[in-house]
Amino acid sequence: MHFLGILVNIFVESLLVLCEGNRLAMTLFRILVLVVELMYNMVSNIFPKFWYEYRLRRYALLSKKLHSETKLRLAIVTGANRGIGYETAKTLALAGYHVILACRNSDSAASSIESLQKQTKLQTFEFMQLDLSCFKSIRAFILNYKLKYNYLDLLVNNAGVMVYPRTFTKDGLELHFGTNHIGHFMLTNGLINNLLACQYPKIVIVSSVSHYNTSSADFEFLLKKNLHEGFRNCDSLHYKHYDPAKSYSLSKLCNIMFAQELARRYKHTNLLVNSLHPGITNTNLGRLNNQRNGLITRIFKSFFAIFPAQGALTSIKLALSPDGNNGKYFARESETSPLPLSQNEDICLNLWNYSEQIIKDHSCH
């Protein structure tokens, strides 16, 4: 599967080079990328779930061998109570990390910890409350973490929401942008000194293939409209018909840009930051759509979506392998090309400044 994954990535990269810059060609590119990914997933599903669990365990064992030091290694995984985050937390524990599950729902986190402990026979899981759609909660999380620990080896920005109807975060931001990007932006910057206190710190940012569904025009619109008109009247919220899929895709583009800018800012340190697409995975992410479409979605997912364990492979590879990649984008466990827009230094810097401004403007809400 790994070899096939590399072939798919080469195909996507070559196609992107050919199509970039032409609107019509980019539409074709998006369709072909989706078709190729779904075909790849169908082939992946020939292997049973335990094959991917076995591969995760191999990453964990190899990493454990490399780290024989006695110091407790600390990892935070956001949204670790289910889906890809759950599998990521499990593997990190098997690799020897003490894993902090940064989740918004304490009951769900408690039952996830119970089953993680059962499955791994390890006690090394801890819950800390974090709602990424609320500045107050993010600040409280950072404070609580710092009161308890003064370093952090690994941060996995995994949590996410997808295609919700027109909704705002508690601080008045569009839900996808506010949770998926701004929430993680604030969290990461709040913990950066704890990361830099470690010898080999890492940040893994879970983005999505759907970032290809955006364009520089969408992105400019997001920035300009928001800055000039205030967030409530802006961006995709202000399109005639609010487009939740576009809003999700934009937030995932921001994830890659954030990873890029972080890598650039801290390139003189040992910090390694990378982003990734986990694969179209059979999780609860599109729960609203699933409820609407019921049986059709379930059938589609069982053929064309991968197991959560396979979805966690790329995050785990970036978290545990000693490769030294920095500022790169991955899919199917190997490097690939994101939209060139997300690699533009000026644009990434703009997003950074803009994100800081938004947090300032909305902190009094």
Ligand X SMILES: NC(=O)c1ccc[n+]([C@@H]2O[C@H](COP(=O)([O-])OP(=O)(O)OC[C@H]3O[C@@H](n4cnc5c(N)ncnc54)[C@H](OP(=O)(O)O)[C@@H]3O)[C@@H](O)[C@H]2O)c1
Please give the residue ranges that form the binding site for ligand X (CB under 6 A): 78-79, 81-85, 103-105, 108, 130-133, 158-162, 179, 206, 208, 277-278, 280-281, 283-285
Give all strands of the β-sheet with 97-103 in edge-to-edge order: 125-129, 97-103, 73-78, 154-157, 202-206, 272-277, 329-331, 334-336
Burial grade of 248 (CB within 10 A; 0-12, 13-18, 19 or more): buried
Nearer to ligand X, 96 or 104 (CB): 104
DSSP state of 32: H
Parallel/antiparallel/unpaired status of strands 97-103 and 73-78: parallel
219 vs 125: CA distance, rounded Å:
38
324 vs 310: CA distance, rounded Å:
22
Parallel/antiparallel/unpaired status of strands 73-78 and 329-331: unpaired
Of 256, 243, 166, residue with least CA distance to 208: 256
- Give the position of tokens 């620990």: 149
247 vs 249: CA distance, rounded Å:
5
- Residues serving a catalytic function are 242
**CB of residue 18 to ligand X, shortest distance in Å:** 24
**CB of residue 195 to ligand X, shortest distance in Å:** 19
Nearer to ligand X, 108 or 343 (CB): 108
**CB of residue 130 to ligand X, shortest distance in Å:** 5
**CB of residue 163 to ligand X, shortest distance in Å:** 10
Nearer to ligand X, 97 or 304 (CB): 304
Tokens, residue 260: 């890029």
**CB of residue 51 to ligand X, shortest distance in Å:** 19
Residues paired with residue 77 on neighbouring β-strands, in sequence order: 101, 156
> Nearest residue by C-beta to ligand X?
83
* 134 contacts: CB under 8 Å, gap ≥ 6: 169, 170, 171
**CB of residue 24 to ligand X, shortest distance in Å:** 25
Nearer to ligand X, 96 or 278 (CB): 278
Nearer to ligand X, 96 or 332 (CB): 332
Tokens, residue 178: 């506010």
Strands (E) located in the chain:
73-78, 97-103, 125-129, 154-157, 202-206, 272-277, 329-331, 334-336
